Amino acid sequence: MRVLIVEDDEAIAIPLAKGLEREGLEVDRVESGAAALGCAATTRFDVVLLDLGLPDRDGFDVCRELRARSDVPIIVVTARSDEVDRVVGLELGADDYIVKPFGFRELVARIRAVARRRVPRPDPDGSAIERHTSTTDVGELVIDRRTRRVLVHDEEVPLTPKEFDLLAFLAEDPGAVRSRQELLEEVWDPHWYGPTKTLDVHVASLRKKLGDPHWIETVRGVGFRLSSPAPVS
C-alpha cells in the first residue's frame, strides 16, 4: 500500500513516515498543496494523509482538487477540531477526519479501513450501465456498485464517493430503516467518533442531486430509508 503524507511540519511528518514504513507501507512525503497535487497526478496512491494548514494554500482546496481528479481515499489529519471543519472536510470528499494529536495505532487502522472500502473509478467510456448482480433498481433509480454509477430516469447523477457509498448502503435493503449510528459506522468508520451532522449534510446533498427529497425518507428518532417516490399524477 502506498501512502502520500501532505504535511509541512517535519516533527510530525518524519516520525509518521517512519512509523508507517515499519508497518510495511510505502510512503511519499510532500510539504505543500502544489507538491501534493503534482505528486498525485503522476503517482497512484492508495491513501492520502492531508494536513489542512499548508504553507501555500488551504488544505480544503487541495482536498477538493484531489477529489475532483480521482477517488483516492483522503484522510484529513489536522489540529482543527471544530465540528464545522469536520463537516466541511467530509463534504468536500474526505473519507475520514482525524484530529492531532492522534494515536498512531488508530491512524493505521483508519488507513487500512478506507483502503478496504475503495472501489476504483471506472473509465469514462460513456457506455450504458449493464444489468448484473451488482446493480440495484429502485423504481427509476439504478445503482451500479461495480462501476459506481447512478441513474435516475435514465440520466446519470454525479455523486461524491461518500454520497455513493451512503446511497449504495441504503439500497442494499430498500425500504428498511437504517439507524444513524449504523450508517456512520458502515459508510464512514466502524469506530466513528466524529459529528453526526455530516450524515445530515450528505443526505441533504443526495436528495438534491436525485431530484426528489422523497428518495430518502427520515424516520424521526431512528434514521433513514431509501424509498421510491410516488409517481406524479
- Residue 124: cis peptide before it, omega within 30 degrees of 0: no
Task: Determine the Cα angle at 98 with ends 97 and 99, to 5°.
Answer: 125
DSSP string, 59-121: HHHHHHHHHHH----EEEEES---HHHHHHHHHTT-SEEEESS--HHHHHHHHHHHHHH--PP
Residue 36 or residue 134, greater confidence: 36
Which is it for strands 96-99 and 74-78: parallel, antiparallel or unpaired? parallel
- Confidence grade of residue 191 (pLDDT, cut at 50, 70, 90): low
Cβ–Cβ under 8 Å, residues 217 and 225: yes
Question: What domains can you pick out in the chain, each with its CATH number?
Answer: 2-117 (3.40.50.2300), 135-226 (1.10.10.10)
Helix, coil or strand: residue 229: coil
Q: C-alpha grid cell for residue 49?
A: 494523509
Nearest alpha-carbon partner for 89 in 61, 48, 55, 116 = 61
Tens-digit pLDDT profile for residues 51-96: 999 999 999 999 999 988 888 889 999 988 888 888 888 888 888 8
- Predicted structure pTM score: 0.58
* 110 has pLDDT over 80: yes
Question: Lowest-confidence range among 116-120, 132-136, 217-221, 225-229?
Answer: 116-120
Q: C-alpha grid cell for residue 142?
A: 439504478
